Amino acid sequence: MLFFVGLGLGDAKDITVKGLEVVKKCKRVYLEAYTSILTVGKDALEEFYGREIILADRDMVETNSDEILSGAEEEDVAFLVVGDPFGATTHTDLVLRAKEKGLDYRVVHNASIMNACGCCGLQLYNFGETVSIVFWTDTWKPDSYYDKIKCNRDRNMHTLCLLDIKMKEQTIENLMKGRKIFEPPRFMTVKQASEQLLEIVENKRQEGDNSLAFTEDTVCVGLSRVGSDAQRIVSATLQEMTQIDLGEPLHSLIIPGEMHSLERDMLLQFAISDKTKNILSSICI
């Protein structure tokens, strides 16, 4: 049997009791280690579970999954995923490969940023399509997520922006020379995401766009390390967000749409400045 076990979002203790039982009884335990992170590393998980963990990078999961699935007809194998196994990153490809081999699988669900972001007070019902904001380079500045945010805002919906993670980057030189030397991991901050969003808005303005999806003064929500003791939630204008350091990863950003009074009142609790408070208070509800 192949078990997909969600680890939740904080530390080792965010696994469910059911999930912990699975981890303890499985023959092999893999940790998907390339799309998200907890606030603790592999060592802390191994200590808490009392089990050895095998790190599974993208290569292993996407092109070498036979290793993970091997023997799972007779033995139990666990595949651990930060958040929920079918949350922000979905592992349906591994499910399908397991089914192809005639393997059974079970899922132990857990919190994902896709639902835990509701802790800011914005109702999950009122979220539209989720977008991913990727790191720009000097030559590649995709902005297709802007249109999705606009589409959500036009429908009065909130937008959860998942921020880019680069886990095993190679420099172009190392890539060309086939050297498996990797750069340190990078995690996009709310500050960086806000800067990119404002740059897109500025470009639209210069193109004469009169119906911008949002502006510097749009109140947004920045979240970091949701679900951990070190969690932070702030509401601030997009301009203010470019000045805020929300600390260690992971960060997420929400661009709210129309708010109900309870949603507005919750964002007031997290307001970073008088300016933000004034904007929120002046919203007609």
Structure token pair of residue 97: 């490969």
Q: How far is CA 272 from CA 113, 240, 259, 279, in A?
A: 22, 9, 18, 12
Among 2, 3, 5, 20, binds its own copies (CB under 8 A): 20
Residue pair 218/194 in contact by the 8 Å Cβ criterion: no
- 119 touches its own copies (CB under 8 A): yes
* 84 marked as binding residue: yes
9 annotated ligand-binding residue: yes
Specify the residue, 109 or 191, whose C-beta has the smaller distance to its own copies. 109
**112 has binding-site annotation:** yes
Here the tokens at position 229 are: 């003791």
Pick the binder of its own copies from 46, 76, 248, 265 (CB under 8 A): 265
Nearest CB to its own copies, comparing residues 32 and 84: 84
Residue ranges in 73-92 that form contacts with its own copies under rule CB under 8 A: 84-88, 90, 92
SS3 track for 66-102: HHHHCCCCCCCEEEEECECCECCCECHHHHHHHHHCC
**CB contact set of 223 (below 8 Å; sequence gap of 6+):** 117, 119, 120, 190, 231, 232, 233, 246, 251, 252, 253, 254
Does 147 carry a binding-site annotation?
Answer: no
Give residues in contact with its own copies (CB under 8 A): 6, 8-18, 20-21, 84-88, 90, 92-93, 95-96, 99, 107, 109-112, 114-116, 118-119, 121, 123-130, 132, 151, 155, 157, 226-227, 262-263, 265-266, 269
Residue ranges for the binding site for S-adenosyl-L-methionine? 9, 84, 87, 112-113, 163, 226, 251
